[in-house]
């Protein structure tokens, strides 16, 4: 049995789909089973639980040999992952696959990089079998800008952004292969799309697919942070996202790897394909 946490989220749902497509037995840790009807319909079991309730993690892990650790992108990543790793040790889990992030670094000044870096370090030190998956920025994040693309025909990014955007469906498929296969223990895989893309590249791909001009707009980091604050995001998250964007301008997510195709046997999804698959959201 394989436990998947964060199963109702963007990456977790894709991992569950991919695992079920391979016929693997899956149990999903969920806070609210009502949000997981589609996962049940795929044949996944549900265990109600919360990262802040260690007993619920232990109960969910009972009888699981392997687990996919997806922590929510909140300000508790280190605490949640620590609790999960402790529960996994207690439950005798053989392999924990952690969804990390491309620029994970325990010493980073940026919150998400630091939190994932510390989570990786805790897992490496735990004595558990482990695999670390470090995706770059999800193509699916573009769906959050779909309204602006549709209504204002612009795609907005911070200055100098360049990222080898990865489709989260590929992340789920790679996770499923690692969780069901052999020979991955101790490995760290950086999961990327097939190309590093600038803001102009993203705008050009959208323009091609939609048949109208979508213009790239790059804003400074202070302006960007101000816009996030104006949307009501808490200060820590405004800082965390802006720090990430600064790292992207320094090419932290620009490296292209072949890990997706090596793990899944299929080429990494292109941005053109992603846009074609989600055309209705952008058109």
Number of residues binding to ligand NAP, judged by CB under 6 A = 24
Asked whether position 172 contacts ligand NAP by CB under 6 A, the answer is no
Helix (H) or strand (E) holding 210: helix 199-210
Residue 157: both structure tokens together: 């990014």
Cβ-based nearer residue to ligand NAP, 73 or 193: 73
Cβ-based nearer residue to ligand NAP, 72 or 86: 72
Q: How far is the CB of 36 from ligand NAP (least distance, A)?
A: 8
Q: How far is the CB of 146 from ligand NAP (least distance, A)?
A: 15
Residues from 117 through 136 that contact ligand NAP (CB under 6 A): 135
154, β-bridge pairs: 215
Among 111, 130, 138, 224, binds ligand NAP (CB under 6 A): 138
Collapsed DSSP state (helix, strand, coil) of residue 18: helix
How far apart are the C-alpha atoms of 221 and 121, rounded to whole Å?
Answer: 30
Residues from 29 through 88 that contact ligand NAP (CB under 6 A): 31-32, 35, 50-52, 70-73
Cβ-based nearer residue to ligand NAP, 137 or 274: 137
How far apart are the C-alpha atoms of 97 and 23, rounded to whole Å?
Answer: 18
Q: How far is the CB of 212 from ligand NAP (least distance, A)?
A: 26
End-to-end CA distance of the chain: 41
Neighbour count for residue 26 (Cβ, 10 Å): 27
Stretch that binds ligand NAP, among 6-14, 88-96, 199-207, 233-241 (CB under 6 A): 6-14
How far apart are the C-alpha atoms of 203 and 156, rounded to whole Å?
Answer: 9
């Amino acid at each position: 049995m394989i436990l998947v946490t964060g199963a109702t989220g963007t990456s977790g749902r894709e991992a569950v789909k991919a695992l079920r497509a391979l016929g693997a037995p899956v149990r999903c840790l969920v806070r609210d089973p009502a949000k997981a009807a589609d996962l049940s319909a795929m044949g996944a079991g549900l265990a109600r639980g919360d990262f802040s309730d260690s007993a619920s993690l232990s109960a969910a892990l009972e009888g699981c040999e392997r687990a996919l650790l997806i922590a929510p992108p909140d300000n508790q990543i280190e605490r949640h992952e620590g609790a999960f790793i402790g529960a996994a040790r207690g439950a005798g889990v053989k392999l924990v696959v952690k969804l990390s992030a491309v620029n994970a670094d325990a010493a980073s000044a940026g919150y998400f990089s630091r939190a994932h870096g510390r989570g990786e370090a805790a897992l490496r030190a735990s004595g558990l079998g482990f695999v670390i998956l470090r995706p770059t920025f999800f193509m699916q994040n573009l769906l959050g800008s779909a309204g602006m693309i549709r209504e204002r025909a612009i795609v907005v990014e911070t200055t100098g952004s360049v990222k080898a955007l990865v489709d989260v469906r590929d992340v789920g498929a790679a996770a499923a292969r690692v969780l069901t296969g052999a020979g991955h223990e101790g490995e760290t895989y950086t999961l990327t799309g097939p190309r590093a893309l600038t803001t102009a590249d993203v705008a050009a791909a959208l323009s091609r697919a939609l048949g109208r001009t979508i213009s790239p707009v790059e804003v400074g980091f202070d302006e960007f942070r101000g816009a996030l604050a104006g949307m009501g995001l808490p200060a820590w998250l405004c800082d965390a996202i802006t720090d990430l964007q600064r790292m992207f301008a320094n090419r932290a997510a620009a490296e292209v790897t072949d890990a997706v195709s090596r793990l899944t046997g299929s080429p990494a999804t292109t941005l053109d394909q992603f846009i074609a698959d989600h055309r209705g959201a952008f058109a």
